[in-house]
Homo-oligomer: A and B are copies of this chain.
Amino acid sequence: MMQSFIPPNRTLMGPGPSDVPERVLQAMARPTIGHLDPAFGGMMEQLKAMLRDGFMTENQLTFPVSAPGSAGMETCFANLVEPGDEVIVCINGVFGGRMKENVERMGGTAIVVENAWGAPVDPTLVEAAFAANPKVNLLAFVHAETSTGVRSDAKALCEIAHQHDALALVDAVTSLGGIELRVDAWGIDAIYSGSQKCLSCPPGLSPVSFSDAAAKRIAARKTKVRSWFLDLSLVMAYWQGDGARTYHHTAPVNAMYGLHESLLMLHEEGLQNAWARHADMHQLLKTGLEELGLRFVVEEPYRLPQLNAVAFPDSLKDEASIRRELLEVHNLEIGAGLGALAGKVWRIGLMGASASEANVDLCLTALRDVMARHQAI
């Protein structure tokens, strides 16, 4: 029997999506208009301006890709990598591994710099990889690894790339809006994020930005991009702001209403205030988790406030059944481990609107309840 889907009311404290404010949900329910309507064009210009503020960049080439974060990643690699290119890819979790796949599918060769899951990217290893591979023209790394909760030093890594005449490509899916991120000041050449993390918008859009150096390299490509949908030379005919906006694909109109509203909320709060709120809520959660005897996977200086990975305690048995109970009894979603950390950790998100005192309280209360019950069994 088919019927309307009425979702349960969850509190979202996993690795994303995060809680979506009612304002953003209501924005998405406004009447659909055409993707070429002049009124829509005005909204697009505001959206680009607010994205530039969020990324702290003046880059002209800044807009949301019409698909989730994985497509933002693919936009960066598809446009910047040509067959035969050598790319240094830093892997310290799931998403670095995905970057390697992207390089290879675009015909490039990935030179992998590996660090332990839970550790940040070690700049000395990146330096060594550049020294050993003088042909490399691109460095790719994850700023905030969602699979482990670790922050790497994006500024230092970008500097190394530029010293070797390479561009720097950064995964900021989990960092945008949650922690310090300065695209221009740090010299990031290509960056992608997601709508459903610290921006607190539903999933489906992927903000990206490209420096002038990246735009120049794309314009000088010898081969066509291995994607028509993500080819920036075509996509930008739609996103340009000079009034000559032309059709490429049909933009996800209502999803963009939502992202516009969530960026407006960030704009109203102030970017640095949002960073501070994420840091404060992390401290509150950390104290409570430690009282519960939970141990962080990542060493303190590298921890992401918005993604708290804690080891699943030996004293408990079945981590999946505990998560299921949190969901069913407390309507609380927290994240499982991914890849090498599957079954070993929980990932507790404090992203965007989910980074609130009420959420921290709910999470600690629910964990205390469920863990006590399972320890007793």
- The residues of A with any CB-CB pair to B shorter than 8 Å are 2-10, 12, 14, 16-17, 19-20, 23, 25-35, 37-40, 43, 46, 49-50, 66-71, 73-74, 78, 98, 101-102, 104-106, 194, 196, 202-204, 224-229, 247-255, 257-258, 260-261, 264, 267, 327, 333, 338
Contact of A264 among B2, B17, B19, B261 (CB under 8 A): B2
A-B contacts besides A7-B30, A12-B34, 4 pairs, CB < 8 Å? A2-B46, A73-B228, A98-B228, A226-B227
A20 nearest CB across to chain B (Å): 4
What are the residues of chain B within 8 A of A255 when measuring CB–CB? Answer: 202, 204, 252, 254-255
Contact of A17 among B19, B20, B204, B253 (CB under 8 A): B253
Contact of A39 among B7, B70, B196 (CB under 8 A): B7
A40 nearest CB across to chain B (Å): 7
Give the residue name and chain of the B residue nearest to A25 (CB): B29
Contact B25–A254 (Cβ < 8 Å): yes
Contact of A31 among B25, B29, B104 (CB under 8 A): B25
What are the residues of chain B within 8 A of A257 when measuring CB–CB? Answer: 5, 7
Complex Cα distance, B377 from A316, in Å, reads: 82
What are 28 A-B interface contacts by the 8 Å CB criterion?
A2-B46, A2-B267, A3-B264, A4-B23, A4-B260, A4-B264, A5-B257, A7-B39, A10-B34, A17-B34, A20-B31, A29-B29, A35-B203, A38-B327, A66-B68, A68-B251, A68-B252, A71-B71, A74-B229, A105-B225, A105-B226, A202-B255, A203-B250, A203-B253, A204-B254, A204-B255, A227-B227, A252-B255
9 cross-chain pairs, A with B, having the tightest CB-CB distances, nearest first: A204-B252, A67-B67, A29-B29, A70-B249, A202-B254, A203-B250, A20-B32, A25-B29, A5-B43
Complex Cα distance, B68 from A248, in Å, reads: 11
Contact of A12 among B33, B101, B104, B261 (CB under 8 A): B33
Contact B4–A17 (Cβ < 8 Å): no
Main secondary structure of the interface of A (DSSP, over half): loop
Complex Cα distance, B231 from A104, in Å, reads: 13
What are the residues of chain B within 8 A of A71 when measuring CB–CB? Answer: 66-67, 71, 229, 249
What are the residues of chain B within 8 A of A225 when measuring CB–CB? Answer: 105
What are the residues of chain B within 8 A of A78 when measuring CB–CB? Answer: 227
Complex Cα distance, B101 from A338, in Å, reads: 36
Complex Cα distance, B70 from A228, in Å, reads: 8
What are the residues of chain B within 8 A of A46 when measuring CB–CB? Answer: 2, 5
Contact B68–A261 (Cβ < 8 Å): no
Give the residue name and chain of the B residue nearest to A263 (CB): B2
A27 nearest CB across to chain B (Å): 7
Contact A101–B228 (Cβ < 8 Å): yes
Complex Cα distance, B226 from A104, in Å, reads: 9
What are the residues of chain B within 8 A of A264 when measuring CB–CB? Answer: 2-4
Contact A28–B27 (Cβ < 8 Å): no
Give the residue name and chain of the B residue nearest to A40 (CB): B7
Contact A252–B202 (Cβ < 8 Å): yes
Contact A229–B70 (Cβ < 8 Å): yes
A98 nearest CB across to chain B (Å): 7
